[in-house]
Amino acid sequence: MRSPRLSHRYGRGFAVSMALASALLLSLAMPGLVGWWPLLFVALVPLLYGALHLPPLRSSGMGLLAGLLYHLVLLYWILIVLGRYGGLPAWISVPALVLLALYMALYTALFCFLLSLVAGRSWHRERWVATLVWTAPLFWVGLDTLRGTLLTGFPWMDLAYGLYAHPMLIQAADLGGHHLVSFWLVLINGLVLAVIDRQRRDVRWNQRAERRLLLAAACLVVFVFGYSMLRYRVMPPLMRRALQARVTVVQGNIDQGVKWTPANREATVATYTRLSAAALRRRTTELLVWPETALPFYLQSDPLAARVADFVRRQNVWLLTGAPTYDLGPAAPGEKPPVSYFNSALLLDPSARVAGRYSKQHLVPFGEYVPLRKFLPFLEPLVVSVGDFTAGSSSAPLVAGRMRLGVLICFESIFPDIARREVARGANLLVNLTNDAWYGRSSAPYQSLAMTVFRAVETKRSLVRAANTGISGLVDPAGNIRQQSPIFRAMALTGDVPMLDLETLFVRGGYLFGTACLALMVPLLLFRRRA
């Protein structure tokens, strides 16, 4: 039964203060601005405490406020993308940021609503805190999974990604993906809340079942931590015994504002060939990697293609480069053939023959195509400079000698399933081609790198990242960033990366962990006890 005294104690001011506290802690914990990662272990405690005591509707309001404030801070770079490079005025770009942050906040609001409904004390003040400890990570990961798939998905900076710079803590991602690490973090936050809650004078300690549930949660936390530490220790010998590939990554630092102008195409090619030639003097590099759309023209038909081919033959190296491509469809008699355009990665062998092509499968809405563009004509400037692309469909690796390359183009690196499918089809090296110039000097390039690191850990594959303006780098299968470039500096990085062939539990089936959490939410809601 609800107590009038408790209803007054946990009023509107309490909800606002809990929302502000969690939003602030999360903003300080995530990479890009401050990145004080230890806060991740307590950042959700205020939100969980509020959901424990507030009724469902008020709890959802708390979650909405916390989510909105947090995502406004997390996604502020949207203003740079839409305003500076998209050409949209502030009266469009600012509301767009707010609407996106509000959409993301809806998941936090739903999380708090469901948590209060299933495990809150607004119905009964002596409800077990253990119920919340276990349901909170389940709901959080389930809703993260939903957000990563609904409306083409936008799984930007899920909770686990805040630990990217500490690989010894995230090795369990090769069991259940980054979702398992998020589950672990929320579970720790729940246990911290349980410790706080157990300090009440009127707490009832004679509930053996609750103590067992809390002990089981603590055991799971210890298991995930222990597994990650042990896995991190056994990885170095495996990587030393594996075949090594010497890779050179070139960061051209081409100004996004002039990149696509015809007058600058030759200068762009000159920049990449000059930086590459300087890095290839020792003739030991097996694979040369240029970023997404490093060649801002169609290699199939542009005269500059001959210059690129001549460079590849002289250097006698495999080249993987981003470039737009097109396919001609069957034409009716007397009509021009339909044309499909792709954001692609082209693999050129040492004789400059195109040995393989990968076309981006997961396109960026409003960046590479405009959904319902007929009804949203004012968003047309967003795709004028990069074209309106068609999605590719193949996950087959590109074969370059002993290297089998699983390619992730830009936005695709935040979707675990794309890398997983490529590794399942035989990729022994992941390559991420991206153009983060759109983000300017913001926190987004650091956030993008954080998510990409997890693709290496989940699949236990080295990952090579080539970015136009940064951050480029080499990541080993344990998630260590062996080399990393600063942003907005033209340079080349060369290093050896191990090519492992082992298949992780994540690749075999652990990728379904998030889906399982989402599915388990249904029986929890259907058979919940209001007591």
Q: Name the catalytic one among 112, 210, 259, 410.
A: 410
Q: Which one, of 428, 471, 426, 469, lies nearest residue 452 by Cα? A: 471
CA 11 to chain centre: 36
Is residue 528 within 8 A of residue 139, CB to CB? The reply is no
Q: DSSP E strands: which ranges in 412-511?
A: 429-434, 463-467, 473-475, 481-484, 491-499
Catalytic residue check, 360: yes
CA 97 to chain centre: 19
CA 427 to chain centre: 20
Q: Name the catalytic one among 210, 292, 368, 412.
A: 292
Q: How far, CA to CA in Å, does 55 sit from each of 60, 125, 140, 277?
A: 9, 12, 18, 65
Which residues lie below 8 Å from residue 77, measured CB to CB, with a gap of 6+?
439, 440, 442, 443, 444
CB atoms within 10 A of CB 443: 21
Is residue 69 within 8 A of residue 23, CB to CB? The reply is yes
Q: Which one, of 448, 357, 424, lies nearest residue 394 by Cα? A: 357
The rounded radius of gyration (Å) of the Cα atoms in the chain is 25
Residue whose entry in the numeric block shows the structure tokens 């896995």: 231
CA dihedral 289, 295, 296, 299 (to 10 degrees): -130
Q: Name the catalytic one among 360, 422, 460, 517.
A: 360
Catalytic residues: 292, 360, 410
